[in-house]
Amino acid sequence: MTAVNLSYRVTLPASQLDLTQTLFCGQTFCWRKASGSYLGWINGTPVQLHREADLLIAQGPLPLQATNIARYFFLTPEWDGLFSQMPQDKYISLAVSEYPGLRCIQDEWWECTANFICSALKQISQIQQINHTLRAHLGTPVPGFPLKSFPSFHRIAQAREKDLRECGLGFRAKHLHRAARQLAEGVVDFHALEIMDTTQASRELQKLEGVGEKVAHCILLYAGRRLDAFPVDVWVNRLLQKLYRHKKRPRPELTHRWALKKFGPHCGLAQLYLFHWFRNGGENRPRSETGGVSFLSPKRIKMVK
Which range marks the domain in which residue 251 is found?
77-98+226-305
CA distance 49 to 75: 14
Is 145 strand, coil or helix? Answer: strand
Q: What percent of the chain has pLDDT over 90?
A: 78
pLDDT tens-digit map of 203-228? 999 999 999 999 999 999 999 999 99
- Co-location of 194 and 125 in the same domain: yes
Model pLDDT, residue 35: 85
Compute the radius of gyration of the chain from its Cα atoms.
19
Exposed, middle or buried: residue 101 (CB in 10 Å: 0-12, 13-18, 19+)? middle
Q: Does residue 57 lie in a domain region?
A: yes
Average pLDDT over all residues of the chain: 89
* List of E strands, the chain: 8-13, 32-34, 37-42, 45-52, 55-60
- Co-location of 191 and 243 in the same domain: no
Q: Is the pLDDT of residue 36 over 90?
A: no
* Number of domains making up the chain: 3
Last residue of a domain, one of 191, 222, 253: 222
Residue 213 belongs to domain with CATH number: 1.10.340.30
Q: Does residue 3 lie in a domain region?
A: no
- Co-location of 124 and 182 in the same domain: yes
Q: Does residue 2 lie in a domain region?
A: no
Model pLDDT, residue 101: 95
CA distance 12 to 255: 38
* H-assigned helices in 206-266: 213-222, 234-244, 252-263
Q: Is the pLDDT of residue 15 over 90?
A: no
Model pLDDT, residue 126: 95
- Co-location of 156 and 201 in the same domain: yes
Q: Does residue 82 lie in a domain region?
A: yes
Q: How confident is the model at residue 2 (pLDDT cuts 50, 70, 90)?
A: low
Q: How confident is the model at residue 297 (pLDDT cuts 50, 70, 90)?
A: very low
- Co-location of 212 and 153 in the same domain: yes
Model pLDDT, residue 301: 31
Q: How confident is the model at residue 298 (pLDDT cuts 50, 70, 90)?
A: very low
- Co-location of 291 and 207 in the same domain: no
Name which of 33, 202, 62 is nearest 128 in CA terms: 33
- Co-location of 172 and 251 in the same domain: no
Q: Does residue 1 lie in a domain region?
A: no
- Co-location of 212 and 250 in the same domain: no
Q: Does residue 51 lie in a domain region?
A: yes
Q: Is the pLDDT of residue 162 over 90?
A: yes
Last residue of a domain, one of 193, 222, 251: 222
Q: How confident is the model at residue 182 (pLDDT cuts 50, 70, 90)?
A: very high
Q: What percent of the chain has pLDDT over 70?
A: 91
Q: Does residue 103 lie in a domain region?
A: no
- Co-location of 287 and 193 in the same domain: no
pLDDT tens-digit map of 251-293? 778 889 999 999 999 999 999 999 999 999 877 754 433 333 2
pLDDT tens-digit map of 85-133? 888 899 999 999 999 999 999 999 999 999 999 998 899 999 999 999 9
- Co-location of 163 and 135 in the same domain: yes
- Co-location of 240 and 286 in the same domain: yes
Is 121 strand, coil or helix? Answer: coil
Q: Does residue 32 lie in a domain region?
A: yes
Range in 3-7, 13-17, 160-164, 288-292 the model is least confident about: 288-292
Last residue of a domain, one of 199, 222, 245: 222
Higher-confidence position of 139 and 298: 139
Handedness of CA 292, 293, 295, 296 (dihedral sign): negative
Q: How confident is the model at residue 145 (pLDDT cuts 50, 70, 90)?
A: very high
Residue 28 belongs to domain with CATH number: 3.30.310.40
- Co-location of 93 and 17 in the same domain: no
Model pLDDT, residue 46: 97
